[in-house]
Structure 1
Amino acid sequence: MKIICAGFWKTGTKSLAEALTILGYKVYDYDYQLFEFPDLWNKLFDGEITDDKIREELKNVDALIDGPVIAFWEDISRAFPESKVILTTRDENKWFNSLIGMMNKTPAIFKYFYPLMILTPTGRKFLGTGSRVWSYCLGDDNWNFELEQLDGKDIPDIPYPHKNKEGAHFAAEGGPQHPKFRQLMLELMFLLGIFASIISYIFYILYIYICT
């Protein structure tokens, strides 16, 4: 573990993740954290994990960013004292408006049928940890951060990336990249198809009953 990003959602985390990726780091965003290390986060919530176990779980990760690490960056920093911590910040009003804007652009299948995720095998894993993180953390871009040169990395002569502008994470950037997130969407669509078929059948039976 080389870099721990402690900034909240919507403080430039997608842009920072892209910048670190360009520099050659293996970056784990929120979707990869949730799907790859669910036991780690749940054990951290429950206080049932040691620093040695944290090091074992995250030994192949260069950088963590966004949730769930924002809830446990101090624990992870203690386990990896040599790692650098980057804190991204933003004006709180702009942060809130940006968060609401991103939520409004969430795909309809997740926005309106969110509770159905618990009925899918992939959704149960995602919700189990994701809900705990969300509840724990929420009890012109004016964000800033310090990004010092790390491990001899050369800073490329290109503009700093600007990702997820105005909630583009889902709309234009493809959303979460972990394959299991796409699997989750397929499972939800399959489940909705089943419900639609059942409802259609019920209406058909009622129509036959009424007409006869």
Structure 2
Amino acid sequence: MKVIVAGLPKTGTKTMNTALRVLGCKTIYDYPENSYYLYKEWVKIFKEGPKLEQLRRMYDGVDAVVDAPCCYYWEELAEAFPAAKIILMERDEDRWYKSVVKQAEELNSSWVLWCIQSFTYLGITRISYRRGVFTPIAERPGWPMNRIEVRNKCTLKRLFRQHKLYINEKATKDRLLIYKVTDGWKPLCEFLNIDVPEIPFPHKNKGAEIFEEYRKSNEIIKASERQFLISMTFYVALAAFIVYKCLTWF
């Protein structure tokens, strides 16, 4: 592993994901990849805690990890992959809180996401995973109806500060970059010892519309939507069969 992005969700992690791809990281595990490929391992970690050999197996061949749940376990990942660089994403905490709330509202209002989570094999089997991921920032995540109820402002801001302070205290300075998306390419490329690309620095998930972006570009989300359509076809056919049997019975 080359890079561990330790910034909390909504600190610019989707922008960093795109930037790292431009800089040559081919395999990046963000929230969708962890949910799709590693949800069983993460559910076990949420219950029992991580083991270094387990993390090494999970992320063998992965160039970078971004966002939750990896940002909560950055220290264990850094120990499992001692050559990896650590990037702490910074953001004004009030803007961060507002962005978290807006993101939750966007996810809660998406009927497509609700359908995927409620009526597909992928959605139903990931309930425990989603709860583990969202527990630090949400009250009773996933209840009712897969909703994310964001914790109060004081609690979330305390989480934000503690996360930042702990990384600053524990991460060795030669491995750590404290970074804001407004810093652009230069400090990031210098930290990773990579030439600055000749393209503008990206800006993703502006306006907390990441799910709609994923629907257009992320193959895992596209696969989830296809699975939903197949599931609904089955449910409609089953309902029609039951209605037919009831009508013929009487």
Give the TM-score band, short-chain normalised. Answer: 0.7 to 0.9
Report matched runs for 1:11-26 at 5 Å: 11-26=11-26
Alignment partner, residue 88 of structure 1: 89
Task: Determine the C-alpha separation between the residues in 2 that align with 1:112 and 1:124.
Answer: 10
Report matched runs for 1:39-188 at 5 Å: 39-47=40-48, 49-90=50-91, 91-103=95-107, 106=110, 108-112=111-115, 114-117=117-120, 120=121, 122-138=122-138, 144=180, 147=188, 149-172=190-213, 174=215, 177-179=218-220, 181-188=221-228
Q: CA deviation at 1:17?
A: 0.5
Q: Residue type matched to 1:99 in 2?
A: Q
Q: CA deviation at 1:148?
A: 5.2
Deviations 1:8-60 (A, max 9, x none): 22221111110110000132221112222234323322336431232232121
Select between 188-197 and 72-81 the one with higher mean Cα deviation.
188-197
TM-score w.r.t. the length of structure 1 is 0.76
User: Against the structure 1 CA distance between its residues 124 and 171, is the aligned structure 2 distance closer, same or farther, given a 3 Å change threshold?
Assistant: closer
3-state DSSP of counterpart to 1:194: helix
User: Against the structure 1 CA distance between its residues 56 and 150, is the aligned structure 2 distance closer, same or farther, given a 3 Å change threshold?
Assistant: farther
Q: Is the 8 A contact 1:35 1:125 kept in 2?
A: no
User: Against the structure 1 CA distance between its residues 171 and 113, is the aligned structure 2 distance closer, same or farther, given a 3 Å change threshold?
Assistant: closer
Q: Is the 8 A contact 1:5 1:66 kept in 2?
A: yes
User: Against the structure 1 CA distance between its residues 205 and 38, is the aligned structure 2 distance closer, same or farther, given a 3 Å change threshold?
Assistant: closer
Deviations 1:109-138 (A, max 9, x none): 322563333xx2x33443332332122453
User: Against the structure 1 CA distance between its residues 2 and 138, is the aligned structure 2 distance closer, same or farther, given a 3 Å change threshold?
Assistant: farther
Task: Determine the C-alpha separation between the residues in 2 that align with 1:183 and 1:89.
Answer: 33
3-state DSSP of counterpart to 1:34: helix
Task: Determine the C-alpha separation between the residues in 2 that align with 1:176 and 1:45.
Answer: 29
TM-score w.r.t. the length of structure 2 is 0.66
Structure 1: unaligned runs, 5 residues or longer: none
CA RMSD of aligned residues (A): 3.1
Alignment partner, residue 196 of structure 1: 236
Q: Is the 8 A contact 2:116 2:123 kept in 1?
A: no
Task: Determine the C-alpha separation between the residues in 1 that align with 2:109 and 2:213.
Answer: 10
Structure 2: unaligned runs, 5 residues or longer: 140-178, 182-186
Q: Residue type matched to 2:196 in 1?
A: I
Q: Residue type matched to 1:82 in 2?
A: A
Task: Determine the C-alpha separation between the residues in 2 that align with 1:202 and 1:105.
Answer: 32
Q: Is the 8 A contact 2:117 2:124 kept in 1?
A: no
Task: Determine the C-alpha separation between the residues in 2 that align with 1:93 and 1:152.
Answer: 33
Q: CA deviation at 1:170?
A: 3.1
